A and B are shown apart, each in its own frame.
Chain A
């Protein structure tokens, strides 16, 4: 648990509830994790596990009926969860960049992409119009758009999905943020374009050494990109491990199930695909005890009685009473 450097982003006991008719439903239940400077933290989980809500909660974009009801969020030593909306704007603006899932809706259709870049740059960096334009052109070039001068004057609808996502990435990074949150950055794209975008994200990360929080349901993306991985299940953290450890020696039975449910050719060339029996409980119907216990082959009495706390080991953490042994993997 003890880390030598202070984490850039430290999230502790983050709790988000949904105010539904007939009571509160917990969407995120005491989620804790941290991201070190320059690190890529992958967040994986099934649909509805709370991945996107985690991202939205950090940048204060939760829309009613979602509401953050507990926990602390610290960015570079500053608590950002208690700030007024105005103070939040100035802190978060520029320090956190966000890459949205769908490049079709994350660019304003009536403003040229060059103008959108310049607006964002000038909102955070004290630059003159021509300097901002130069920087914007530079970013268009860096994200790999051909002929930046031409693209600068184009509208989003004149670009393909992959090109738009490149623009979205440029928008997220152009104000030199400390942290980039990428919420399923490749999910809405063609497979061939996905690889290019991932490559671009990785290259930009290497160049700028910005911290990243990569939200995805795709373990392949995680394997390529992440340094450490947090596995979410039904709004709780199941396991946080360095990426190699996670794939080679998962501690939480759910993590292993998730890995085995991903089609991967083995060394002999055959495909193995084991699915986890059952389905993830919906919001509001999480069973008592460990949320995974009805589907877990190792579940015992204590799993059904109490919620397993996050147990920290050298470089990883997991919430399970009966973790898998290394030989078990």
Chain B
């Protein structure tokens, strides 16, 4: 007979911190990605606090232009990653650029989430003709590539607002167009979850107790359908940032006079042929690093929240 060690259930139960550590040990890849994302976020939001904006006159000096990274022959220790054509330190320029890209990404994902989420809730809950209309609009929109759609919306906004516009307006237009371009996915996911939830007995119970449709949707259905959508939102954050970079690269997003990863890549692209590769390669690498990390983390979240995949990995 082996003695059975009988630890009390409460002692065996892991504390919150212990659970997190356990989850991190089980998934080292996603944990590394989370660390990378966190580091990049700190980089993008802390560096600008301590350095002059390299996109304003006070922040750049033309005398320092085209200095290669520090380890190359003409490199300078003051500019570890080199400078661009206007003498901007790439380290600070990229921090400013990242900050814009991340803000645009978050805002546009939020807009897509709110827009698509509300339409999906309405379509799924009301059903019938309303559902058919919203979903047909979604089908039509899916026929256009999201980037093309963002360009169309962007162009339309420009036509309405005219060529004279501030950086803030340009950013708002980009945010709106990316947000609108990506609502369909949220709407479809939420709609299908809502259609399952709305026939559950607890919704009927809420209806019997006299709740209005709005409070049933907000209090009872929404919390039950959010998990899969938040996972999609995480993955879409990467896509939104890439879309912003693409729009900016094509010159129809953020104006080249203000920093974003896209405008930095675009600017550096002009000098790739002449040998100053670092101006565009560093922003490219940063973009790839951030987006890949976000995607891996998002994928991991999807696996965690999908009960059908649980326990397989």
Contact = CB atoms under 8 A, between A and B. Distances in A.
A119 B218 CA distance: 14
Contacts of A124: 209-210
Contacts of B202: 105-109
A102 B200 CA distance: 10
A111 B223 CA distance: 9
B208 A98 contact: yes
Contacts of A61: 204, 207-208
Given A108-B220, A110-B223, A100 B209 contact: no
B223 A100 contact: no
A323 B46 CA distance: 89
Contacts of B166: none
Nearest to B225: A110
Interface centre among B199, B207, B224 (most CB of A within 10 A): B207
A70 to B, nearest CB: 23
A25 to B, nearest CB: 21
Query: For chain B, what secondary structure do more than half of its interface residues adopt (helix, strand, loop), or is it mixed?
Result: helix
A18 interface: no
Instruction: Say which size band chain B's interface belongs to.
Output: 10 to 19
A94 interface: yes
Given A108-B224, A110-B224, A171-B205, A89 B210 contact: yes
Nearest to A110: B223
Contact of A92 (B205, B210, B223, B224): B210
A105 B201 contact: yes
A175 B206 CA distance: 13
B205 A123 contact: no
A112 to B, nearest CB: 12
A317 B91 CA distance: 90
B294 to A, nearest CB: 26
A78 interface: no
B210 A100 contact: no
B224 A94 contact: no
Interface size class of A (residues with CB under 8 A): 20 to 34
A120 B104 CA distance: 42
A120 B219 CA distance: 12
B14 interface: no
A311 B311 CA distance: 62
B15 interface: no
Contacts, number: 58
B205 A94 contact: no
Interface in A58-108: 59, 61, 63, 89-90, 92-94, 96-98, 100-102, 105-108
A92 B201 contact: no
A156 to B, nearest CB: 9
A175 B211 CA distance: 14
A94 B210 CA distance: 8
Nearest to B207: A61
B212 interface: yes
Contacts of A123: 209-211
Contacts of B224: 108-110
B201 A102 contact: yes
Interface in B13-35: none
Contacts of A108: 202, 206, 220, 223-224
B161 to A, nearest CB: 43
A195 B209 CA distance: 27
A120 to B, nearest CB: 5
Contacts of A120: 209
Contacts of B204: 61, 98, 100, 106
Nearest to A175: B209
Interface in B167-215: 199-202, 204-212
A210 to B, nearest CB: 15
A223 B161 CA distance: 77
Of listed B200, B205, B223, residue having the most chain A CB within 10 A? B205
Contact of B208 (A96, A111, A119): A96
Contacts of B208: 59, 61, 92-93, 96-98
A94 B201 contact: no
Contacts of A97: 208
A108 B219 CA distance: 10
A93 B223 contact: no
Interface in B115-151: none
B205 A100 contact: yes
A171 B206 CA distance: 10
Interface of B: 199-202, 204-212, 219-220, 223-224
What are the nearest 6 A-B pairs in CB distance?
A93-B210, A106-B201, A100-B201, A110-B223, A89-B210, A108-B202
22 contacts: A59-B208, A93-B210, A94-B210, A96-B208, A98-B204, A98-B205, A98-B208, A100-B204, A101-B201, A105-B200, A105-B201, A105-B202, A106-B201, A106-B204, A106-B205, A108-B202, A108-B220, A109-B224, A111-B219, A111-B223, A119-B219, A123-B209
